[in-house]
């Protein structure tokens, strides 16, 4: 990890810590101590294991999507790839910053860059589809519970559905018209190639065209020959998000509270959308505030602060630990096999 990454990691941790301390200050009372005494470690371990299982589903998604394109990427390699992705996601705006790590690690596993890019982009498309469909389902089937969250967050979900629709349209259109994607990338690249030599810019443009063509062919393969990868990808994406969403209910049981599965699924959908907005590194601070504001509608205020600390410990701090360990393993691998 270079100096700049370390700086952003500390900023991310700082944002999160400050907000958590503030939440605890305003929520901890005499009843909180009583709840902590009844805390059952079994449910904490189960919540942590559920998160690890979710990450395993993510690894399986990568493995099966890669296999549908003719690549053999092992499960444990994919799992280490997912862990490494977690660290960069924690130090970049929102939690959607680990894509370069996943692309690089897939490339090191023998996947072409264009194919790796297509796999990672398709992952995000599948995430959007699952979250969008989930939000629509809970809105129309469980309208009364949805309205309890408030109009502001409902509007946020409406906006997210529009964005998801646009992403899917671009995803499909890029298969039929790669020229448009080339023009967009060429136009965007001008911002950081203005001071380059003309020969270097030309080589870079040729590289863009080559990778876009490869990317286009890969997307076409996904929609024609790699349909199994998309199906398995959609299944594992659903399982991933379901595991992540039930963690809060497991923690509540550990705190001697009744689980709130339905309400939690609705709230987690909104939080997942908010955390994708690039405001702070790893969505730190934003995640804690969103969690406290939304779960405050359903959870006793005496345990709300403890609940958000436990939740972020599993889905943020534990992710950073996994990312650091995975990064060390990758560094050791690169040292042994620099090529």
pLDDT in tens, 118-145: 788 788 878 877 877 776 776 666 655 5
Give me the pLDDT at residue 52, please.
Answer: 96
3 state DSSP class of 40: coil
Give me the pLDDT at residue 73, please.
Answer: 92
In degrees, rounded to 5, the angle at the alpha carbon of residue 224 between the alpha carbons of residues 220 and 227 is 110
Distance CA 60, CA 76 (A): 9
- In the block, which residue shows the tokens 């910053």? 97
Distance CA 28, CA 33 (A): 8
* DSSP classification of residue 94: B
Give me the pLDDT at residue 251, please.
Answer: 92
Prediction pTM value: 0.81
Give me the pLDDT at residue 250, please.
Answer: 94
Distance CA 311, CA 44 (A): 10
User: What ranges in the chain are assigned the alpha helix state H?
Assistant: 3-27, 30-37, 41-68, 75-91, 99-108, 113-141, 143-149, 151-176, 178-193, 198-224, 227-254, 261-275, 286-295, 301-312, 318-336
Q: What is the dihedral of CA 136, 141, 147, 149, to 10 degrees?
A: -60
Residues of the chain with pLDDT under 50: none
Orientation of helix 3-27 relative to helix 286-295, angle to 10°: 20
State how far Cα 237 lies from the chain centre: 11
Distance CA 273, CA 26 (A): 26
Max CA pair span of the chain: 70
Q: Render 119-188 in DSSP notation, one character per residue.
A: HHHHHHHHHHHHHHHHHHHHHHHSHHHHHHH-HHHHHHHHHHHHHHHHHHHHHHHHHH-HHHHHHHHHHH
Give me the pLDDT at residue 47, please.
Answer: 94
């Amino acid at each position: 990890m270079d100096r700049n990454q370390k700086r952003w990691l500390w900023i991310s941790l700082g944002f999160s810590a400050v907000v958590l301390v503030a939440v605890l200050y305003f929520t901890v009372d005499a009843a909180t101590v009583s709840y902590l005494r009844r805390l059952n470690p079994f449910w904490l371990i189960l919540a942590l294991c559920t998160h690890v299982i979710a990450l395993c589903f993510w690894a399986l998604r990568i493995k099966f999507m890669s296999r549908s394109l003719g690549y053999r990427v092992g499960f444990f390699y994919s799992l280490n790839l997912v862990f490494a992705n977690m660290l960069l996601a924690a130090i970049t705006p929102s939690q959607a910053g680990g894509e370069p790590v996943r692309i690089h690690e897939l490339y090191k596993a023998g996947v072409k860059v264009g194919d790796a890019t297509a796999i990672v982009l398709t992952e995000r498309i599948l995430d959007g589809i699952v979250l969008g469909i989930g939000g629509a389902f809970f809105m129309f089937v469980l309208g009364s519970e949805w309205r309890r969250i408030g109009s502001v967050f409902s509007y946020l979900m409406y906006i997210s559905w529009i964005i998801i629709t646009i992403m899917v349209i671009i995803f499909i259109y890029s298969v039929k018209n790669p020229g448009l994607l080339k023009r967009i990338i060429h136009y965007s690249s001008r911002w950081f190639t203005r001071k380059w030599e003309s020969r270097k810019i030309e080589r870079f443009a040729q590289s863009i065209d080559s990778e876009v063509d490869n990317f286009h062919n890969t997307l076409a393969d996904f929609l024609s020959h790699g349909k199994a990868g998309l199906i398995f990808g959609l299944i594992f994406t659903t399982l991933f998000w379901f595991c992540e969403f039930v963690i809060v209910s497991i923690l509540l049981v550990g705190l001697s509270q009744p689980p709130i599965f339905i309400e939690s699924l609705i709230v987690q959908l909104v939080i997942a959308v908010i955390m994708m907005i690039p405001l702070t590194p790893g969505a730190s601070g934003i995640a804690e505030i969103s969690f406290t504001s939304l779960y405050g509608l359903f959870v006793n205020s005496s345990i709300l602060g403890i609940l958000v600390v436990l939740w972020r410990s599993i889905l943020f701090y534990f992710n950073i630990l996994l990312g650091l360990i995975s990064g060390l393993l990758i560094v050791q691998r690169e040292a042994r096999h620099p090529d």
